[in-house]
Structure 1
Amino acid sequence: MAMDVLRPPAGFRIDHAVLSTYSLDLDVLLALPLAVLAHSDRGVDELMEEPLLLLEALREAGERVHVFVDESGIAIPHTNRALYSLLETSVHPVRSVNGGTFHPKVWVVRFVSDDAPPRFRVAIASRNLTFDRSWDVALVSENAADEQRPVEASADLARFLNTLPELTAQTLDVQRIDVVRALAEDVARTSFPAPQGFRGPIRFHGLGLEDGADTPWQLERKGNGLLAIAPFLSATTLDQLVRLSRPPRTLISRREALDALPPRHREAWDSILVLSESALDEPDDRQTERHSDLHAKLIALEHGHQVTWYVGSANLTHAAFTGRNVEVVAAITGPKGRPGSDKGSGIERFVESGFPRLCEAYRPGEPATEDPKIAAARERLDTARQRLVKGDLRVVCRPEGKAWTWMLEGSVALPEGVSVSAWPVSVNEDHARPLELPLAWPLPMSRLTAFVAFRVEADAAIDDVRMALKLPASGIPDSRVAQVLRTLIDSPQRFLQFLRALLGGLDSMPDWAMGNGGGSWQRHQSDGLDNAPLLEDLVRAASRDPQRLEPLQRLIEDLRATSEGPSIVPDDLYEMWRTIYAAVHHDLDQATPRDSAETTGTSNATT
């Protein structure tokens, strides 16, 4: 789903994307830009075979893609990569205003074109930004903005976007706040059509966006047939749904969640299902660390000849329905269809669609009982996790001669009976140290990072808590990105590969990633340092988009300033670059804004 949602329509390109998630795997975010650009479903390790392409995709995605994640929801990566540092500008930890979790799975993307008005795509899903292989559900829609008036059905989606900057644990810079709020303004004027078979636009519901919200969210009407699916349940929310509906009622959930319910709260349901063992099997032994279980959240309520489906992030729990958590739900309504008909969108059609065939009837088991010592240890682990998240922790980096010292400073009060280890995610877990602040690691500049991994263990036979936090960081030099570049660009040939791809921009990179020909920048290394193709690329970039030369100027000067620089950027190439850059820079300085715009437009029309 992730790749399809971000993939632009024909003739369009991504302008900005705002993604929200409860949990985040950094490798998913690392793979996302290149996988989308290259139209590839390859894994991260395969994508890393094109590190220079990935690097530029990440640099540009840092300005275009904004991920808002629950501040305790970042997973510790399985590998240590210097490239994780390039994700920091895209990742924004957030917290619920009412003490719960930040739980929405919302993607909003703005696509632009030179020949058409912007288009907006929204996805409301139950899936997080992880590699989990769970059963999930998503609703995706796309449209252009209506410039005439706000759309009532989209008001809550716009309100959610407007609220995001206020929820961040660390203050966003003004530029990113402006991007998010401009997107909210556009969304407020966009009507997102429901899928075929439904009527009217999608209606969005934002929960937990206001401080102190404790009034239970109510479905829009009562009904006479109900389907509810969620992995997590609470008795109060199930009873609320039962009061809104008459039989038949069907509930699909996880076995352990159903076992935990008192029997009387299951009696009102005519059918209770769980996924069968075959649906939970792992077909690939290499995927055993990834979850495979029910994770979809949806409600279908039939009323008269209509049915309304609610899709989103909200579990059937008290925290979700009372606004303790931040959630977003989308509602669509259509005809339910007649019994036996192949038309309509009712619950019967869903039952016939095949998913319930992956299920089996729930048979009550014994509620899980937990040893009091284990329960107490679990509580201590959760307390320690919360205190780490809310604690006064920060990253400080200081130069020490030619090396750097990465330090974790601050204070946090941990409960007794737990031990905590920490390490920067850019190094192996073998380098973890007990959390006795301050902690220090000697690191090269390319490994400096604001992402810190924590392992919390209890003095009991219970799984440890593992998470990564993005902490406030100071002392990280702006040249860190260039240092990461130096670890990847170690020869003139690799420099030219990167330079030609960079000149083409993100829209030109997929061919290179997929190994296709086309374009003078696509040259084999055996071409050596032939400057003619590169000169052609530089002139083309200078005429079409002279601002694209600015990052090249910073890169080349930064590389030349190092001892190995002249061997990576040879003198003849450097002199050619200086001549072109000086000429373009002179023209930009001499042109008025109107002249510059007209010149660029003429170049675009004639190139």
Structure 2
Amino acid sequence: MFRSAQDRLDYGEILRPPAGFVCEIAVGTTYSLDLETMLGVPLALFFREEMDENLLGNPIAILEGLRKSADKIALFCEGGQIQVPRTNPVFALLEDSVFEVVLKNQKSFHPKVWLIKYVDSNSEKLLYRFITLSRNLTFDRSWDAAVVLEGEVSEEVTDKNRPLIDFLRFLQARTTAADKEKRIRALAEELPRVHFQTHDQHFIDFSFLPLGIGKGYNKESTGLFKKYHHLLVISPFLSRTTVLELDRLSLTNSHKTLITRRSEIPHLTQEMLDSFPCYCLKDTVVDGEEAISESESAMADIQKQDIHAKLYFKTKYTEHDLYIGSANCSLSAWNGNVEFMLRLRYKKWGFRISQVIDELFGRDKEDFDERHNPFERIVEMPEPNHDEDDVQQLLQNAIKSLCRSGPRANVTENNGLYAVTIRFDLQKVDTEIDMTIELLGGGSAAKIQNTTVLSGLSLLELGEFYIVTAELGEESLQRILKIPTRGIPAERDAEVFKTIIKDEDTFLRYVVFLLSDDYLLALLEQQTERGKTGSSSWSFSGYDRPVLYENMLKAAARSPEKLREIDEIIQLLDDTDIVPPEFDRLYTTFLQASRRLKS
């Protein structure tokens, strides 16, 4: 269950639909968001391929994934926690799928779940998948945990999904796009007849446990903060009061284990370390990538690997409960934040929590050597050192305050260029911190004031993603804010498409990719052709057009809906320099043929 080397889940794999199914809608939540990571979500959901680096590195695959997913993905994140990506115009196509959640009283939106509805392409059978994770939608490489449940529709109504339905209602109220709000409402209305299963005989029951979404959804309702005999807590972040509360709930002759990050130990006391045995990953594991790197270029992609899983395994008599999800062992997590946990009831003859700990530490192996244990026990309190972290937290708080001020923006046009006027309410924003704002799409930055103007912008630079830079002394922090922006011309999306589909050959390759039955194979064929021409960029010149005609003929006979997708692209681009007239005539012929076949 918890062998770090064997029991692994791939993020793309747990999103990917089963063979023969297509994604109907996917609702996800995360605390922090990396827009570059999010580009991989449509590839997994709509291409049903492995999260192959060939797909992730191909602009045509990304563009088609974004087009397919535009009305089917809704992702909610904490306001002010979108990381700044590398410049790429395609991020503008994510604007209608990302929703920032801003809570009152400095509380955080922290759940990490997916609820996905798939439909069988042939039988129209429905499949629902619920995923709870501890991982944000970022490229972070820390140790996380996830559980996947799948369910099918039955005539019998169940109350078991009521907390999940209420969570969807909470999200629905924070959706700023009418079409997504309608889809989420419809999904919630379907759940009373969906029966989820764990597909593991030892997990005999489960409970959905959202926190902070309304009356009754609090830590008391979870059952975690009750007396126990044995307890394992894995949490990257701690509050002394919460750890102490769990420590005091132990019964006589209990066994307790805490696994956390080394940086969190100063939140505890020496007495707590003695009473509640605490372990951290060894530095050789945390810094492992740096240790094996042999080049300066590789160093740029190095990330530390530390604990990020949130897991509570609790035993009382013969009852074993596993809690897994987003809630840290901290005061804010269990007292106000919006979180999501899943409780699993575990039943196996002779089971003990010590067996889980042995798996984590590698002690279940016959040839166990303590030197290979990735964890080490912390027996003495280290010296605290939070000066730099404190400044970063001030900057983070300033950006969140800016997000909570309810900014709004409006676009105006003058002689082919555009200006964006943004209005803030800066009454509760720390004036000692300098902040500037600029569009993610480009243009110059401006100092944030109650009324801030960004001018001299091109159509392609317009969007709802803005880069905010906060500075205090020598410290700085950048985040993306999504600000509702009125007046963005409707043709902006077409300009984004044209940054990739920029000529006739690129368009024809896009169509080949769209018509293919095997997206990865089509991509590899295009890359092979690119290699023959000696091109290192996606110029797409010299493609063999008979392949295109063959695929269009197959589509007319077997998949006429793909021809309708081509029509969407043609209408979007609306450019004869990109869509050759002879192709338009040929496409019309195939489309008419497909209609005759259908009739």
Q: Does the pair score TM above 0.5?
A: yes
Residue number in structure 2 paired with 1:421: 436
Asked if the contact 1:38–1:510 (Cα under 8 Å) also holds between the matched residues in 2, the reply is no
- d(CA) in 2 for partners of 1:375, 1:276: 22
Residue number in structure 2 paired with 1:229: 234
2:87 to 80, 83, 93: 80
Asked if the contact 1:380–1:417 (Cα under 8 Å) also holds between the matched residues in 2, the reply is no
Q: Please say which of residues 392-401 and 143-152 is displaced more in the overlay.
A: 392-401
Give the deviation of 1:279 after TM superposition. 1.7
Unmatched 5+ stretches in structure 2 = 1-9, 363-372, 528-539
Provide Cα deviations, 1:318-347, integer angstroms capped at 9, x if missing partner.
11112x100111111123543xxxxx4x31
- d(CA) in 2 for partners of 1:142, 1:287: 39
The answer on 1:9 being equivalent to 2:26 is: no
Q: What SS class does the counterpart of residue 442 from structure 1 fall into?
A: strand
1:333 to 333, 345, 353: 345
- d(CA) in 2 for partners of 1:336, 1:498: 53
Identify if the C-alpha distance between structure 1 residues 514 and 13 changes in structure 2 by more than 3 Å, giving closer, same or farther.
farther
Q: What SS class does the counterpart of residue 127 from structure 1 fall into?
A: coil
Unmatched 5+ stretches in structure 1 = 339-343, 518-522, 588-598
Asked if the contact 1:97–1:167 (Cα under 8 Å) also holds between the matched residues in 2, the reply is no
Provide Cα deviations, 1:463-491, integer angstroms capped at 9, x if missing partner.
42321011101111221111122222232
2:580 to 544, 556, 570: 570
For 1:506-525, what aligned pairs fall within 5 Å after superposition?
A: 508-515=518-525, 525=542
Give the deviation of 1:162 after TM superposition. 2.0
Residue number in structure 2 paired with 1:445: 459
2:401 to 384, 387, 392: 387
Amino acid in structure 2 at the alignment position of 1:102:
F
Please give the TM-score of this superposition, normalised by the length of structure 2.
Answer: 0.83
Residue number in structure 1 paired with 2:3: none
Provide Cα deviations, 1:506-545, integer angstroms capped at 9, x if missing partner.
x65343234389xxxxx99443489854762674488456
Identify if the C-alpha distance between structure 1 residues 117 and 392 changes in structure 2 by more than 3 Å, giving closer, same or farther.
closer
- d(CA) in 2 for partners of 1:401, 1:134: 50
The answer on 1:33 being equivalent to 2:33 is: no
- d(CA) in 2 for partners of 1:583, 1:288: 51
Give the deviation of 1:433 after TM superposition. 3.7
Amino acid in structure 1 at the alignment position of 2:91:
Y
Q: What SS class does the counterpart of residue 354 from structure 1 fall into?
A: helix
Asked if the contact 2:433–2:472 (Cα under 8 Å) also holds between the matched residues in 1, the reply is yes
Asked if the contact 2:408–2:423 (Cα under 8 Å) also holds between the matched residues in 1, the reply is yes
- d(CA) in 1 for partners of 2:404, 2:437: 16
Residue number in structure 2 paired with 1:359: 375
Give the deviation of 1:214 after TM superposition. 6.7
- d(CA) in 2 for partners of 1:198, 1:530: 51
- Taking every aligned residue pair, what percent have the same amino acid on both sides? 27
Provide Cα deviations, 1:533-558, integer angstroms capped at 9, x if missing partner.
476267448845675355144135x2
- d(CA) in 1 for partners of 2:203, 2:386: 48
Residue number in structure 2 paired with 1:241: 246
Identify if the C-alpha distance between structure 1 residues 335 and 420 changes in structure 2 by more than 3 Å, giving closer, same or farther.
same
- d(CA) in 2 for partners of 1:571, 1:329: 56
Q: What SS class does the counterpart of residue 40 from structure 2 fall into?
A: helix
Provide Cα deviations, 1:366-423, integer angstroms capped at 9, x if missing partner.
442556xx79856753442232112242333333333434454445344232111222
Please give the TM-score of this superposition, normalised by the length of structure 1.
Answer: 0.82
The answer on 1:467 being equivalent to 2:479 is: yes
Q: What SS class does the counterpart of residue 64 from structure 2 fall into?
A: helix
Amino acid in structure 2 at the alignment position of 1:349:
Q
Give the deviation of 1:105 after TM superposition. 0.5
- d(CA) in 2 for partners of 1:531, 1:191: 44
Asked if the contact 1:307–1:336 (Cα under 8 Å) also holds between the matched residues in 2, the reply is no
Identify if the C-alpha distance between structure 1 residues 483 and 368 changes in structure 2 by more than 3 Å, giving closer, same or farther.
same
Count how many residue pairs are aligned between Structure 1 and Structure 2.
Answer: 554
For 1:49-64, what aligned pairs fall within 5 Å after superposition?
A: 49-64=57-72
- d(CA) in 1 for partners of 2:383, 2:174: 37
Residue number in structure 2 paired with 1:132: 140
- d(CA) in 1 for partners of 2:413, 2:476: 34
Asked if the contact 1:21–1:105 (Cα under 8 Å) also holds between the matched residues in 2, the reply is yes
Q: What SS class does the counterpart of residue 141 from structure 2 fall into?
A: coil
Give the deviation of 1:446 after TM superposition. 2.4
Give the deviation of 1:55 after TM superposition. 0.8
Residue number in structure 2 paired with 1:120: 128
Give the deviation of 1:70 after TM superposition. 0.8
The answer on 1:185 being equivalent to 2:189 is: yes
Q: What SS class does the counterpart of residue 176 from structure 1 fall into?
A: helix
The answer on 1:252 being equivalent to 2:259 is: yes
- d(CA) in 2 for partners of 1:129, 1:375: 22
Provide Cα deviations, 1:270-318, integer angstroms capped at 9, x if missing partner.
x211111122024254465634211111111112223111001000111
Provide Cα deviations, 1:572-599, integer angstroms capped at 9, x if missing partner.
2333445666898xx8xxxxxxxxxxx9
Q: What SS class does the counterpart of residue 365 from structure 1 fall into?
A: coil
Provide Cα deviations, 1:414-458, integer angstroms capped at 9, x if missing partner.
423211122211238xx4443354232433322321100111111
Provide Cα deviations, 1:132-156, integer angstroms capped at 9, x if missing partner.
111111111212123311242x321
- d(CA) in 2 for partners of 1:581, 1:115: 25
Q: What SS class does the counterpart of residue 228 from structure 2 fall into?
A: coil
Over aligned residues, Cα RMSD in angstroms? 3.2
Residue number in structure 2 paired with 1:554: 571
Asked if the contact 2:212–2:339 (Cα under 8 Å) also holds between the matched residues in 1, the reply is yes
Residue number in structure 2 paired with 1:592: none
